[in-house]
Amino acid sequence: MTKLLLAASPATSQSAIITFGLYTVVVLALAWFSHRARSGRSFLGEYFLGSRGLGVLAFTMTFGATSASAGSFAGVPSLIYTHGWSVALWISSYMVVPLCAMGLLGKRLNQISRKTGAITLPDILRERFNSPRLAVLASLLLVFLLSVYLIPQFKLASLILKQLLAESHSLGMLTTWLTTLQDRTGLATTVDAEYLVCLVFFSFLVVIYTTFGGFRAVVWTDVLQGFIMIGAVVVLLVLTLHQADGLPAATAEVAKQVPPRLGQVHFFTEQPAPQAIRIPSETWIELKDDLTGQRRLFRTNEGAVIPADATISRRVKTVELIGPSQHSGQVPDRADSLPENVRPVIHEFEPYAFGAEQVSGYLRCPGPSPTNPAGFLSLGLAISIFVYWPLSGTGQPGNMVRLMAFRTSRTLKRSIALLTLYFGVIYFSLVIIFCSARVVLPGLDHTPDRIMPVLSFQISEAAQMPWLAGFLVAAPFAAAMSTVDSFMLMISSSMVRDIYQRNINPNVPEKRVKRMSYACMILIGLIVTAGAVNPPRFMQYLIVFTGGGLSVSFLVPVTMALYWPRTTGLGAAAAMIAGFVVYLGLYVAGYIIYGSARPLNILELDPLIWGFAVSFIAGVLGSRLSQPPPEQLVTRFFGKAS
């Protein structure tokens, strides 16, 4: 994960912190109200499913906010900034995601969950196939994949918080205290103390409101977070286009740009300085080429420090703008803002693997790519991704649980319409914003993960509304939070309801269920926090892998269970296991073949597509090769054949 650095003045940062603090207070208040609203209702159904009473707004927003994880506000903007308009095609299947993710299973899943009294996905499978073993298999897969998925979400949210609180006095004090503690005890000395403080704060906040408020609190905060997300996107769109002189002007400027070269520089002084010299991130450097005499223009993407009594800094990631890009957008005419006596040393700079020197590359497919010689979006990938988003959205257990919680079929119908509009505004706007950001904020190509927060701070300052930055940065934080809380609730429900109550102690009193649910939630919070202190490498890879793994494990078995009377427990188990094994196998094969975190895409198709195909075949074969389900069971779920 790229190290995040602030690009804001202290005044902006302080105002942003106050805005963000208000947001935190509102989230906690919602948890408290939710806790009060729960009194007098049956614990399990209310705590894990909100008594199936979600109306249009709550259902739409909780579905949308849970679907949009932190990746939507960190990963997607980064992709758009790096690859340009080709990402519009990459993300275009969101035009049908609400219809597919809600419409394909919604009504039937809701009906079956009511008919059986199921409050979790494994509950549904247990009742439908009368198979406790299948339910336990589903629970274990859910608990494993969701727990792994939570670790990168915790990390990303903590990094966002760290960026926001960088100028905070309280954070500074806590960090100093923690660093001292780390030095004295020798514990976690390699972990950044600032990050650790933010991680603990985030974990505390999310565990408290999820544990205390349950499903209803999660839904209410999702509604708040959903409004924050769309509000932030609309504000960013308006202000970015204003700064870029409108979309036609911005696109015309982007057309002139060619992909930059990426490399590193370090800085030195002739004499050691008594105090450390700081060279901020986003510093412009202008040099003349010794051989040709031509202008060379660089922009640092990380901050550098020449320590006191030293003469040299470490190397920092830097971008070299070349050709017409040097005169595009808001690139300064004279661009040397280095401190006096500080000189740069330029190391080797590499051109893009695809699209280098090509004008207009950012406006067309396959889009420039720093690493892939075939460009960003091949035709195979474009087809694959158009299949990926709708199926992946439909197969997410987090979404399926929400489909069990809406009030009536009319609620579902209205929510499909509303979510289609919501996603349309958010995702198409993101493409416009971050393509235009190439004009407003050029030269951030080496650390594009930072584009959302850096742009937020820049346009808030330009608009002279420093508080706005807190609101804008709250969007990715809210996205992470709304995903994390839902998943924590699902893990807890799987452990308490599906494993303990249904298999170990069916007569457990409600009071103990309550205590166990609370304890489980706190335990999950502690374990995931511990995992995020020193998370494994390849975070984005983990997010993609576990997100896809959840869909590929559950979409086919659940769909078959709902629609095909001949499906058997064996067929559903075969679909679940085969889909996941093929999916996992293609990731492992990719790692072995390429030696890096990259899946094997046979025929350029994502492993998810292969996983779905094999899962479907295994489900059909498994059902056909096993005894037909008892007539009584079929009649219960499908009625008598007329």
Span 41-80, contacts to other proteins by CB under 8 A = 41-46, 49, 51-53
Pick between residue 581 and residue 634 the one whose CB is nearest to other proteins.
Answer: 634
Judge contact between 348 and 263, C-beta under 8 A: yes
> CB-wise, 28 or 255, nearer to other proteins?
255
The dihedral through the CA atoms of 378, 380, 386, 387 has a sign that is: negative
State how far the Cα of 127 lies from the Cα of 633, in Å rounded to an integer. 9
Q: At its nearest, how many Å lie between other proteins and the CB of residue 44?
A: 4
CB of 39 to other proteins, least distance (A): 12
Residue 529 has phi, psi (to 5 degrees) of -60, -45
Q: Is 562 in the site for other proteins (CB under 8 A)?
A: yes
Please, which of residues 236-275 interact with other proteins by CB under 8 A?
A: 246-252, 255
Does position 231 interact with other proteins (CB under 8 A)? The reply is: no
Q: Which is nearer to other proteins, 335 or 418 (CB)?
A: 418
Contact between 408 and other proteins (CB under 8 A)?
Answer: yes
CA–CA dist 428, 433 (Å, integer): 9
Q: Which residues inside 335-374 make contact with other proteins, applying CB under 8 A?
A: 358-360, 363-366
Q: Which amino acid is at 263?
A: G
Shortest approach of other proteins to residue 54 CB, angstroms? 10
**What is the 3-class SS of 280-311, one letter each residue?**
CCCCEEEEECCCCCCEEEEEECCCEEECCCCC
Q: Does 514 bind other proteins (CB under 8 A)?
A: no
Contacting residue, 327, 407, 514, 598, with other proteins by CB under 8 A: 407
Query: Shortest approach of other proteins to residue 418 CB, angstroms?
Result: 9
**Residue 316 sits in the site that holds other proteins (CB under 8 A):** no
Which residues from 431-450 bind other proteins, rule CB under 8 A? 432
What is the smallest separation between the CB atom of 615 and other proteins, expressed in angstroms?
Answer: 17
| Shortest Å distance, C-beta 427 to other proteins | 9
The DSSP string of 405-421 is TBS-HHHHHHHHHHHHH
CB atoms near residue 537 (< 10 Å): 8
CB of 631 to other proteins, least distance (A): 13
Q: Does 520 bind other proteins (CB under 8 A)?
A: no
Is residue 588 at the binding interface for other proteins, with CB under 8 A as the rule? Answer: no
Q: Which of 477, 583, 616 lies closest to 145, judged by CA?
A: 583
Element (H, E) at 395: helix 379-395
Burial profile 133-145: b = 16 or more Cβ within 10 angstroms, e = fewer: ebbbbbbebbbeb
327 binds other proteins (CB under 8 A): no
To other proteins, the closest distance from the beta carbon of 352 in angstroms equals 15
Give, as one character, the DSSP assignment of residue 629: P
Among 21, 424, 536, 630, binds other proteins (CB under 8 A): 424
Token couple for 58: 């709550």
d(CA 492, CA 487): 9
In contact, 298 and 319? CB cutoff 8 Å: yes
Alpha carbon 585 to chain centroid, angstroms: 24
Residues in the interface with other proteins (CB under 8 A) total 77
Between 274 and 639, name the residue whose CB sits nearer to other proteins: 639
Q: Fill in the DSSP letter of residue 497.
A: I
Rule CB under 8 A: say whether 511 interacts with other proteins.
no
CB of 461 to other proteins, least distance (A): 25
Distance (Å, whole) CA 341 – CA 268: 8
Query: What's the closest the beta carbon of residue 489 comes to other proteins, in angstroms?
Result: 15
- Which residue, 559, 619, 608, is CA-closest to 582? 608
Determine the interface stretch with other proteins among 268-276, 410-418, 447-455, 483-491 (rule: CB under 8 A): 410-418
Read off the tokens for 83: 């690859």
**Residue 518, interface with other proteins (CB under 8 A)?**
no
- Give the residue with the Cβ less far from other proteins, 24 or 360: 360
- 3 is a contact residue toward other proteins (CB under 8 A): no
Q: Cα–Cα distance between 55 and 58 in angstroms, integer? A: 6
318: Cβ contacts below 8 Å, ≥ 6 apart: 262, 263, 264, 265, 285, 298, 299, 300, 301, 349, 446
Contacts of 344 (CB under 8 A, 6+ apart): 265, 266, 267, 285, 287, 298, 338
Segment 121-180, which members bind other proteins (CB under 8 A)?
none
Specify the length of the chain in residues.
642
Residue among 268 and 428 whose Cβ is closer to other proteins: 428
Residues 8-47 that bind other proteins (CB under 8 A): 41-46
The distance of closest approach from Cβ of residue 569 to other proteins in the complex, given in angstroms and rounded to an integer, is: 19
CA distance 260 to 503: 59
If one asks whether residue 540 binds other proteins (CB under 8 A), the answer comes out as no
Secondary structure (DSSP) of 8-30: S-HHHHHHHHHHHHHHHHHHHHH
| 38 or 446: CB nearest other proteins | 38
Q: Are 234 and 475 in contact (CB under 8 A)?
A: no
- Closest approach of other proteins to the CB of residue 64, in Å: 14
Site for other proteins, residues 72 to 131, rule: CB under 8 A: 85-86, 88-89, 92-93, 95-96, 98-100, 103-105, 107-108, 110-111, 114-117, 119
Q: Residue 107 CB, nearest distance to other proteins (Å)? A: 5
Considering only residues 462 through 481, tell me which ones interact with other proteins, judged by CB under 8 A. none
- 51 or 182: CB nearest other proteins: 51
Of residues 308 and 508, the one with the C-beta less far from other proteins? 508
Q: How far is CA 631 from CA 68, 135, 566, 568, 638, in A?
A: 41, 21, 10, 12, 10
Name the minimum Å distance from CB 639 to other proteins: 4
Q: Which stretch binds other proteins (CB under 8 A): 27-35, 414-422, 523-531, 622-630?
A: 414-422
Window 376-405: residues binding other proteins (CB under 8 A): 379, 382-383, 386-387, 390
Of 361 and 590, which has the nearer Cβ to other proteins? 361
499 binds other proteins (CB under 8 A): no
- Can you tell me whether residue 1 is helix, strand or coil? coil
Instruction: Pick the binder of other proteins from 268, 428, 518, 538 (CB under 8 A).
Output: 428
Closest distance to other proteins from the beta carbon of 229 (Å): 18
Q: Give exposure, 491-525, as e/b (b: 16+ Cβ within 10 Å).
A: bbbbbbbbbbbbeeeeeeeeeebeebbbebbbebb
